[in-house]
Structure 1
Amino acid sequence: MAKWTLEDDVNDFVKQNFTRLGLKKLKDYNVESSISEYLKQSLKGSAKTANKTNFGKPDFSIEKYEIPVIIENKLHAKKLVQSTKDGIKFDDASISNFAVNGALYYARNMIASGKYDEVIAIGIAGDNDESVELQVYFVYGSGDSAFKFMSKYKTLNFLENKSTFSEFLNDAKLTDDDKHQILISSQIQLQIYAKKLNKLMHNLNITAPQRVLYVSGMLLAMQDIKNDNEIIGYGLTSDDLKGVALEAERDGVKIVNRIKEFLKNRQIPQDKLNLMIASFSEISKDPQRDKPTKNDKEIAKFLDKESSINKQIFTFIYEFIYKQIDGFGGHIDIMGEMYSEFLKYALGDGKELGIVLTPPYVTKMMAQILQIDKDCKVMDLATGSAGFLISAMELMCESANNAYTKNSTQANLEIQNIKKQKLLGVELNAEMYTLAATNMILRGDGSANIQKANAFDTPESLYTKFNANRILLNPPFTFDENGMPFIKFGLSKMQKHGLGAIIIQDSAGSGKAIKSNKEILKHHTLKASIKMPTDLFQPMAGVQTSIYIFEAGVPHDYEKVVKFIDFRNDGYKRTSRALQEIDEPLNRYADIIQIYKNGKNAKVKAKWNLDEIFVEDFITPSGNDWNFDQHKKIDTMPNLADFKKTVSDYLSWEVSQILKKDSPSRSRISLKIEKLEREFKASGGEFREFRLDEIFELKSSKKIFHAQNLKIYDEIIAGSYPYVVRSTIDNGIRGYIIEDEQYLNEGNTLSFAQDTFSVFYQKLPYFTGNKVKILKSKFDDFNSKIALYIVANFNKVLREFTWGIGSNVDSISRIKILLPTIGGKISFAFMQSFVEELESERVEELEAYLAVTGLKDYKLTKAEQNALDIFANSQNKRERERE
């Protein structure tokens, strides 16, 4: 096989494949600069690139299908892709020298131009016909991680015709699981950026109240100015800020002037424009912030010389937020996330203003419960940073695309109408109003009806003209009656049978808002009450909340039941550092909508005791019995599980007391471990790092894609195998299932969850859900004891990872763990002996337990005695082998 010497050899390989597939040059595909003018325009330098004159030239492009395909080639297989543990790299060298990196760069730039929503990017590299490799990506945004690797596509065959391409698009389409992971990982990533940006601004002496205005204003200054989708002025980049002392040329003045131009071009009404500019003028007030100074370490790598404070902040926002906006999950409240982070420093935990911003996965759920679609008209009378309106707008646009075909003329016209006519936000606080308007502009501009006003004093004509049929609210909880007057007022301004949802403190439904609640029940119906997790708003504020659902214009019928749902277990654990997935949150948030609709008859995916978490009951006109706990009849008779827990807790304490007294046995174990380590070192043993792919073969699991239809058992029954998911508990095992054995994964392997970063040893063959990789040992002597040793080391390393960022085969492969070696070879004998000693310690604990319970004198059955003898013999044999 002749070795390729030129990149043209790779190009010839692609052309041969196109010929084989019946694709013709200039008709079905184009080469470099023969691309269409429209595609060429999309590849021109945009506001998100420094170069605004030239356009990129991918090696090949195909524009005959629903979305464009671009291909980038490189000579040599090692030039396929450049990545790190954080993902694919997009520095200049990686983009220029690696096929996948270049293709993705082009695709992201095409989407950033606003001319495309989705692109297929393909990287191809090789040394000859036999070594050539390709990777295919579905790109859905311009962010650093807004793409999906289509791992099963290893040839270009899917480009053959419309039918094969449609099959590819069906595979590429983002699933609910994909969308959920994007939403959560986007929120986590944005929080990380917000934290770093907050630190940078603190270091540069920007006051806490000013910080979020800097973010929103600078993001607007970065936007291109367009007329009829034609760019008439490019947004500012870092290179435009020169640190000049002249008043008109100061960096801050340039930024504010560009904001003014952008807003004027958007035809923002003059009163709104004046309000927004007054807020953003903070950026240009202090000339000292426009003088070059030493660059902060958070941003130094992007700047080649001393820069002004304004330029340093602008550069951070440009690199870490602006470039990522298209890649963030659609329901993400960008300004809200920033505001939440900065609020911690400006106002402690936010309680002074009663400002607690709702997480995006909750705003999305509430909008889904209200069945918001393209035909709805949605308002929020305490808009804050517009989180609810963003979620509503996403669902409405999605509905339009589904109804009229995505990107069709009718769909696009309907979406324009949604953004201009079907969203209403009212916000009194000037800064929050500015954030809301900016946020809606950045998410596609639904800012037309964002009003700076007091909702209660606004002219009646605003509500009459808008004629809402949906309302979503999270009012300031320091307002009268916890904010319940907002929903009372809002429901009165809606169409009859319209739906409303409010998330509010529990106390509003149990006595603190009786006046408003009584009035609400005279004119409207309470349909449901959903008790939310107690840590939902941590670490901002520890507020106990519920969601109340209403039907407008229909007096409450006290002979009809209200649905009460306990959603305290939403599958997440929240800490000040991270949002952790512990119990199927994706399924639980999908289930709660079904439970709201169908009660105990709901077809759910997660493990629920519907009898425990769902109650239908009557309420009274008192207005103080709206919460779940007031209607769930608690069974005070302890059950077997309650007795077991009490007894178990006490026995655990007694065992611990015996073990404390039995210090010689404790020290004996420690001495054995110490002896083992001394002998290991005396034999020349040392610990060294190994990449995971040196000791394991990393394999994609044989996933079960119909998990919602599975019958899951709590224990092994005949014909069943473990079902391993991304849980961080119970060895990753959700239960046991009977399924087609073609989906079985090998036992005696490690399961690795890609987003929760949990790794477990699986002794038996097992089935898996999504995003679980299989690690199969490359060594014959691999067993449970060696596995446990490796898992302990593996978990130690994984503590540095942040949940939700995700991982792939490449990033997992590069993880390094410390293992014992003798003579450069891994010492499996040391690992096995080490774990065996720890197991013997557990046996001593068991003996102590037997002594406490009196079971030590229990007369064993014949079968039990045989099992014990076998165990004792194996222990003695190992002792003799060691000696």
Structure 2
Amino acid sequence: MSENDRVYLVASSIIATLGVPGKVKPLEKEDLKSSPESGETDGEIVLRKIKAFLTEKALPETKKELIIRTLQNTLTSDNLNKITAGETQLKRVFNKIVDDLGRYYKIGLTTDFTGKLFNEMYGWLGFSQDKLNDVVLTPSYVAKLLVKLARVDRNSYVWDFATGSAGLLVAAMNEMLIDAKKHITSPDELARKEATIRAEQLLGLEVLPSIYMLAILNMILMGDGSSNILNKDSLHDFDGKYGFGKITEKFPASAFVLNPPYSAAGNGMIFVEKALGMMDKGYAAIIIQGSSGSGKATDYNRRILEKHTLLASIKMPIDLFIGKSNVQTYVYVFRVNEPHQADDTVKFIDFSNDGYTRTNRKKASINLKDTSHAKERYEEVVQLVRFGKDKLNYLTEKEYYEGKIDPKNGADWNQAAPIDTRPTFEDFNKTITDSLSWEVSSLIKRQAEDENRLGKITSPLKQKLSNVHWRSFILKDLFGKSTRGKRLKSEDRVPGSLPFVTAGETDEGVSDFIGNNVTVFSKNTITIDMFGSAKYRNYNYGADDHIAVVHTENLNKNAAIFVTSAIHKSSHNGQFDYGRNFYAKDADALRILLPEKEGQPDYELMAFIVSEVKKLVIKGLVDYTNKLLKIYSTL
């Protein structure tokens, strides 16, 4: 099947199985007979059921004819109705759809389900690389945000000039119906209002035929088939009038929502200029590539500001469209038909942290997790745009800024809260501390090198080292079986005070401080990470499953430090990397060289050696500190 045929066949199969209670019986699998008889082929049976459904839903005749005409060629094609092994390809596909999807859309659909369905079908359409950013579905929670920012209510007239699969219009319809139920108590009046909302208060335009059919299907699945979804080029073929029903009347738009194709002129701002120019009043909320507000659409932006007011500029998360597109997006909010003045205040919001954690794992059941009050944060953004900084709660003052733009500029829409660059005491303190830390570490390193090279080691230590007898020991025989922690993904970590050890040399492998309920390993133990790097821990800590913990709790502290060096010398040998990790079982079998006395590890000698080396290090540090004190006392 061609790409478009695949989309049309899925749409046809779903529509045919919906039915209308008491009026149109849903098409069942057994209704398809795979008959070659004219008028009784599987495709013709599906088509008749679709016609009956659309007629009963009281769609405008022209719209019904357009849908049937679009689907008919696919459903009646010889290829799909050819009988092989007793049944047609159409029946096999129909059965698969009913079996795999029917249980979802027959029990009541949600925008989450339809969003996943349409994302999948978008993938079939095989858009060229330069068109990928032009056909990205707006996530349902972002669609809801745009609708609220555009102040949609039961009396709004909402349109979308690049409607895609109609996700924004579905969100608008839901918001309008919710508001109607909230304010209308009469059942008859509410029923009339709901019918009006569906038939007269929504309008969308989509130029690509295959995506247009997805928009039609989306509206039908969400309980509406009567809205004005037009298969037209909004920039060249649309005059602002209804497409069905009141075809001679102008659509009285009062709310505009949009996620435009970014390849269009001005990164899509050409759609904004035209739509707002056809409105008399209301509000608009668009999500668009950020560069449109910082230089790629200056001419469009200037002309827009001559007639309309920019109320807010909202920086969205960079991974908002993860797996589909990789662009920085902004949401711009406008008041229609009121020229922007130089003294108008614009609300700039950095919404990079929206409370959601996103992944792009194909086998994951959930790729979107609310990890930090996401729903509350989205509602807060709506309140901030409407009422100002008094609504700050989850967001900080660093993420909210009220400023000005130059209406004649057009490239200053992406501002952020100004940063105070005056250095403070804390800045000076950090700079000096960093500098001293480097100098101290350099001094210690140089001193250690000098001591080793010149043999300037204290005589007791030198004497002890010359008499050391070394022996190989298996780590498990000395300290028992090593243990390991449990995997804790970064998005699941709760902030707290317990050091959490993963791997690496930075910060001794401590990647985070957590408050999760995990196994706590006691101080005076040794960890070996996935690369074989051994570290002595003189504090309680948690660890992930790539960390082997050697239980030296009962060992003298200085002796444990000696053992750490011996382990590191044996394990950190380049054998272990991302391809071959060091595990707890490797620790158990690890052989290390230690000083021995009568066949046993000489922990007393180990502790003495470490103690003497510490004295050397401390002496060097004291000497250096005295030098520094003399220098700084003259400043």
TM-score over 0.5 for the alignment?
A: yes
| Counterpart residue type for residue 7 of structure 2 | V
**1:602 corresponds to:** 391
Q: Normalization by structure 2: what TM-score?
A: 0.66
**2:407 corresponds to:** 621
**1:532 corresponds to:** 316
With over 3 angstroms needed to count, the CA separation of the structure-2 counterparts of 1:288 and 1:446, relative to structure 1, is closer
- Distance (whole Å) between structure 2 residues aligned to residue 526 and residue 255 of structure 1: 49
Asked if 1:488 corresponds to 2:273, the answer is yes
- Distance (whole Å) between structure 1 residues aligned to residue 249 and residue 496 of structure 2: 52
**2:291 corresponds to:** 507
- Distance (whole Å) between structure 2 residues aligned to residue 440 and residue 245 of structure 1: 34
1:299-335 CA distance string (max 9 Å, x none): xxxxxxx75432332233223434323666744472x
1:20-70 CA distance string (max 9 Å, x none): xxxxxxxxxxxxxxxxxxxxxxxxxxxxxxxxxxxxxxxxxxxxxxxxxxx
Q: Normalization by structure 1: what TM-score?
A: 0.49
- Distance (whole Å) between structure 2 residues aligned to residue 217 and residue 734 of structure 1: 54
| Counterpart residue type for residue 762 of structure 1 | N
Report if the CA contact (8 A) 2:299-2:410 is conserved. no
- Distance (whole Å) between structure 2 residues aligned to residue 673 and residue 517 of structure 1: 74
Asked if 1:252 corresponds to 2:43, the answer is yes
With over 3 angstroms needed to count, the CA separation of the structure-2 counterparts of 1:234 and 1:602, relative to structure 1, is same
Q: What is the SS of the residue equivalent to 2:476?
A: helix
Aligned length: 485
- Distance (whole Å) between structure 2 residues aligned to residue 233 and residue 588 of structure 1: 44
**1:438 corresponds to:** 217
- Distance (whole Å) between structure 2 residues aligned to residue 342 and residue 838 of structure 1: 58
Asked if 1:213 corresponds to 2:4, the answer is no
With over 3 angstroms needed to count, the CA separation of the structure-2 counterparts of 1:487 and 1:845, relative to structure 1, is farther
The structural deviation recorded for 1:615 is 1.1
- Distance (whole Å) between structure 2 residues aligned to residue 481 and residue 325 of structure 1: 39
1:256-286 CA distance string (max 9 Å, x none): 2322332233343444333322332354244
| Deviation larger for 240-249 or 523-532 | 240-249
Report if the CA contact (8 A) 1:292-1:307 is conserved. yes
Q: What is the SS of the residue equivalent to 2:310?
A: strand
**2:551 corresponds to:** 837
**1:19 corresponds to:** none
| Counterpart residue type for residue 188 of structure 2 | T
**1:559 corresponds to:** 343
1:345-393 CA distance string (max 9 Å, x none): 5126672572222111100011122221112111112111111110011
Indicate which of 369, 388, 401 corresponds to 2:181. Answer: 401
1:6-155 → structure 2 map (5 Å cutoff): none
Q: What is the SS of the residue equivalent to 1:321?
A: helix
Indicate which of 137, 145, 167 corresponds to 1:365. Answer: 145
Gap regions ≥5 residues in structure 2: 243-247, 362-366, 446-471, 498-513, 523-544, 569-609, 621-635
**1:100 corresponds to:** none
**2:374 corresponds to:** 585
1:174-193 → structure 2 map (5 Å cutoff): none
The structural deviation recorded for 1:500 is 0.5
The structural deviation recorded for 1:623 is 4.1
Report if the CA contact (8 A) 1:529-1:627 is conserved. yes
The structural deviation recorded for 1:570 is 1.2
- Distance (whole Å) between structure 2 residues aligned to residue 332 and residue 546 of structure 1: 23
Percent identical pairs in the alignment equals: 32
**1:732 corresponds to:** 494
Q: What is the SS of the residue equivalent to 1:391?
A: helix
Report if the CA contact (8 A) 1:563-1:616 is conserved. yes
- Distance (whole Å) between structure 2 residues aligned to residue 329 and residue 760 of structure 1: 38
Report if the CA contact (8 A) 1:212-1:338 is conserved. no
CA RMSD of aligned residues (A): 4.4
| Counterpart residue type for residue 551 of structure 2 | E
With over 3 angstroms needed to count, the CA separation of the structure-2 counterparts of 1:854 and 1:329, relative to structure 1, is farther
| Counterpart residue type for residue 388 of structure 2 | G
| Counterpart residue type for residue 221 of structure 1 | A
Larger Rg: 2
With over 3 angstroms needed to count, the CA separation of the structure-2 counterparts of 1:595 and 1:275, relative to structure 1, is same
The structural deviation recorded for 1:857 is 4.1
**1:324 corresponds to:** 104
1:667-678 → structure 2 map (5 Å cutoff): 671-672=475-476, 676=480
- Distance (whole Å) between structure 1 residues aligned to residue 147 and residue 257 of structure 2: 7
Report if the CA contact (8 A) 2:81-2:89 is conserved. yes
- Distance (whole Å) between structure 2 residues aligned to residue 533 and residue 280 of structure 1: 39
| Counterpart residue type for residue 495 of structure 1 | D
Asked if 1:274 corresponds to 2:69, the answer is no
The structural deviation recorded for 1:543 is 1.7
**1:828 corresponds to:** none
1:494-547 CA distance string (max 9 Å, x none): 232x00011111111111112211111111111111111111112111122111
The structural deviation recorded for 1:586 is 2.2
1:557-583 CA distance string (max 9 Å, x none): 111211111111112233322224433
Gap regions ≥5 residues in structure 1: 1-205, 295-305, 659-667, 681-725, 736-758, 764-782, 787-830, 860-883
- Distance (whole Å) between structure 2 residues aligned to residue 354 and residue 475 of structure 1: 7
Flag the structure with more relative contact order, 1 or 2, with Cα contacts below 8 A and sequence separation at least 6. Answer: 2
1:351-430 → structure 2 map (5 Å cutoff): 351=131, 354-405=134-185, 408-430=187-209
Report if the CA contact (8 A) 2:280-2:336 is conserved. yes
Report if the CA contact (8 A) 2:406-2:412 is conserved. no
Indicate which of 230, 238, 241 corresponds to 2:32. Answer: 241
| Counterpart residue type for residue 475 of structure 2 | L
With over 3 angstroms needed to count, the CA separation of the structure-2 counterparts of 1:631 and 1:254, relative to structure 1, is same
| Counterpart residue type for residue 220 of structure 1 | I
